[in-house]
Structure 1
Amino acid sequence: MKWAEISIKTSHEATEAIADIFHELGSSGVVIEDPELVNSYRRAGTWDYCDIPEEVNVEVVTVKAYLPVDEQLEEKMRIFEERVNELVNHNLDKGQGHIECQEINEEDWASSWKNYFHPIKVGEKIVIKPSWEEYEQIEGDLVIELDPGMAFGTGTHNTTAMCIRCLEEVVKPESIVFDIGTGSGVLAVAAAKLGAKNVQAVDLDQVAVKVATENVAINKVSNKVTVAHGDLLTGITGQADVIIANIIADVVIKLLADIPERLKDNGVLVASGIIVERLSDVTAAIIAHDLTIDKVIEEGGWVAILVRKGGE
């Protein structure tokens, strides 16, 4: 199958809005090439050796998404350019706004991850290991073997890493967990590895459902995790102790209306995928639905929020 890789050079402030546009056009996720994030990883000392040069121009962010090459692509490209040009009406600077489109085979796209994705410990316990690399496990490690395929989500981006650290805090033995917009399934697998007894994961994209199902099987947690096609909480039954929503601010805000009914008393929502500039919008929506903010974590310009039902 052929895909169109659409990329745009933009500003930090417009990143999430552009991700939202891609989402509305049918992309299951985006790739964000943020030079500030690259520099932060270099300085963190995570790698013993790194030959990636320090980024000098940190103002230009490249956002990429993948859409199928079909009869709808031309119209989607027209809509995308139109929506990007309208960002100024929302007081958002689109930056350079330079858009490029190239065709890529699914096999080429998937293999390109292998140049940049290496084992990394993202929490106190959770280690993300690509399926094609070796890792010497130490006592206490919970290793997730992952092949992101076309579904995005390696667990190394700030938003996912913050979610994993939150899950290490809130997932208990016997926890019931819902993972909304599971992508590669990394957070669903993490919840299962941390002791959850039942995890229901959903994604609107059928490719993500396929990849997540494969990653669940690779990590031998199929007895705990089910993956299904679904839009937000549609199709998920019952109440959860923990709900994960690593999406984008506008979708988190939309989801909040259903959270009080779908969380158990004292249950928690782990919400991420939110840029710092949208924090006030999300917190206002949380308060409006009588939920309590337990914790706000900020990393690399992104935010994760730990929200509780019935907290003080």
Structure 2
Amino acid sequence: MAWHQISVITNENTAPKLADFFDHLGAVSVTYMDAEDEPVYEPAIGETKIWSNTQVIALYELNIDTGHIKQAVLAQFKTDELQHWLEETIDDQEWERAWMEFYKPMKFADRLWVCPTDQEQREEGTVCLTLDPGLAFGTGTHPTTALCLEWLASHDLTDKVVIDYGCGSGILAVAAVLLGAKVAHAVDIDPQAITATESNALKNNVADKIICYLPEQF
């Protein structure tokens, strides 16, 4: 199945309103992307930060009249708030597998491999953590996760007790146990993260050493 994709660049104040308007006009999905490679740092609690110049991308079914959508948007927003309006038809993909092109085995501190399924590395003196990207954060590609994995792989964790607070996919908890920790306590506010951690612990044969909690249970 193919889709109509509409993208437009706007400012940080208009972007949420435009996204809501696209949704009102029947968009299947609406996505924000950085239009200028601008870093956005950790927001305060309750704050949602987006980029000064944000690309808003709306996806519609093919039977939608994109001319009507553009006319409605131009009637609702000032012209100088909208830049680089682009319409294109995109083919459907096996999105759950598309990441494989970019997600490759990674090695940390010469002791730990993090690998997607079917690309496991079996190297003497190392351990291999098998993990596929999912709904919960944490694959090892983000700099903060990579730094934590590097630190874990650089230390002797034999018989240590580890707390992974904000565990996401559980990658740090699983890595710690594979590297010798006695037990890892994995905590996250998101039930999907708990499910992902339990699944990844099971996949890596360490489910008996990882205990998962929601914050109120910890």
Matched-pair contact (CA < 8 Å) for 2:109–2:154: no
Within 5 A, what are the aligned runs for 1:81-120? 84=50, 94-102=51-59, 109-120=95-106
Contact 2:33 2:54 in 1 (8 A): yes
Deviations 1:96-121 (A, max 9, x none): 23333548xxx955333222212121
Alpha-carbon distance in 1 for matches of 2:167, 2:115: 18
Q: Name the SS for the 2:199 alignment partner.
A: helix
Equivalent AA in structure 1 for residue 149 of structure 2: I
Aligned equivalents of 1:11, 1:171: Cα separation in 2 = 42
Higher Rg of the two aligned structures: 2
- Aligned identity (percent) is 30
Q: Is the 8 A contact 2:120 2:130 kept in 1?
A: no
The DSSP-based 3-state class of the residue aligned with 1:150 is: coil
Distance 1:108 1:184 in 2: 22
For residue 217 of structure 2, what is the amino acid of its counterpart?
Answer: G
Q: Does 1:135 align with 2:120?
A: yes
Residue 136 to residue 201, structure 1, CA distance change in 2 (3 Å): closer
Structure 1: segments with no counterpart, 5+ residues: 26-79, 85-93, 237-312
- Paired position in structure 2 for 1:255: none
Partner of 2:3: none
Q: CA RMSD in A?
A: 2.8
Residue pair 1:123, 1:161 contacting (<8 A) in 2 also:
no
2:40 to 3, 9, 15: 15
Aligned runs of 1:214-229 on 2, under 5 Å? 214-229=199-214
Indicate yes or no: 2:170 matched with 1:185: yes
Find the counterpart in structure 2 of residue 235 from structure 1.
Answer: 217
Alignment TM-score, normalising by the size of structure 1: 0.45
**Is 1:209 aligned with 2:194?**
yes
Aligned position for 2:142: 157
Distance 2:140 2:128 in 1: 12
Q: Is the 8 A contact 1:122 1:156 kept in 2?
A: no
- Deviation, 1:134, is 2.8
Greater shift, 212-221 or 143-152, is seen at 143-152
